[in-house]
Amino acid sequence: MDYAIVTGATRGLGESVARLFIEKGIGVMNISRTDNSSLQKLAGENGVSYKFFPCDLSQSSHTEAVFREVGTKVFGSEAETIYVVQNAGVVTPIDPSGELDNGSLETSVHVNLLSPMIATNEMIKAAKGSDSKMIMVNISSGAGSRPVYGWSTYCATKAGINMLTETVSLELSNKHSRHQVIAFSPGVMDTDMQGEIRSSSKESFADVESFQRYKDEGMLRSTDTVAGALLNLLTESDIESGKLYHVNDLL
C-alpha cells in the first residue's frame, strides 16, 4: 500500500486531500492537533490504513519526534510511493510591522516554515536505504510571490516555502535521487482561514474588502476542487521537481 502523510488533515484543504487519497486506496497518516473521525470511518470503508499522529507543529521538538516516528514507519512499509503534503498553516498575525504580536509571529514562522523544514529533513533522512519513492508537496500561496499589506509574516514564510522547495529539489537532483519536491499554490478557497482574513480590520489588512467580495460573489473555490487538481497532478502526471504549481493552471 502506498501512503500519504498530510499535515493539518483535520479540516479544510488538508481534509479534502486526505479524503481523496483514501478514495484512491492510499493509506493516510494525519499529523494534526486533533483527529478527524470521518476520515477514519472512510478509511475503514475503503479498506485502507488511517493513522492519526497528534502534533503541535509550533513546537520544534514535537515536530521532529513525530516525523521521525512517521518516517520510520512509512519507509519500513515497502510502499512504492510515499506522498508528503505539508498543508498545515496559519495566516495570523495580520497587522503591519510595528504592531505585530511577537508571540504570534513566532508561532507563524514555526508552523508555516520551520516545521516543514524539520519534516523535510527528517523524511529525507528516513528515506536512506529505502526503495520507496517520496513525493513532497509544500502548500504555498500567491502571498509568497508578492507583498501584501498586513501580511509580512505570512508572505515571508510562504516565500521561504518556495525557496525551500527549490533548494531541496536542487540537492536531490545533485544526488541523483528519485525523490521529488514541489510547491503548490491553491488560490483562494472557502476555508476557516478565509473567515479569519475577512474578519480583519481595514487598518490591519488593506485588502480585506477584496477578500470579503470573493465570498459575497462566490469566487472562493471549494477545497474538494483544489484537492482534486492536486491529486490529479500527483497521481496522473509527470511532475517537475522544484516547480511551483498554480491551481489556476491545472483547472
* pLDDT tens, residue by residue, 111-149: 999 999 999 999 999 999 999 999 999 999 999 999 999
Give the pLDDT confidence score for residue 224 in this predicted structure: 97
* pLDDT tens, residue by residue, 176-190: 999 999 999 999 887
Whole-structure pTM value: 0.94
Sheet holding 244-246: strands in order across?
Answer: 50-54, 27-32, 3-7, 81-86, 133-139, 180-185, 244-246
Residues of the chain with pLDDT under 70: 219
- The distance from CA 212 to its chain's CA centroid, rounded to whole angstroms, is 24
Give the pLDDT confidence score for residue 230 in this predicted structure: 98
The answer to whether the Cα torsion of 53, 137, 183, 248 is positive or negative is negative
d(CA 159, CA 201): 24
The answer to whether the Cα torsion of 241, 243, 174, 112 is positive or negative is negative
50's grid cell: 488511517
201's grid cell: 480590520
Which amino acids are annotated catalytic? 154
Strand partners, 3: 27, 82
Are the C-beta atoms of residues 13 and 226 closer than 8 Å to each other? Answer: yes
Give the pLDDT confidence score for residue 191 in this predicted structure: 76
Give the pLDDT confidence score for residue 195 in this predicted structure: 74
Among 26, 27, 33, residue whose Cα is nearest residue 11:
33
- The distance from CA 207 to its chain's CA centroid, rounded to whole angstroms, is 24
Give the pLDDT confidence score for residue 209 in this predicted structure: 78
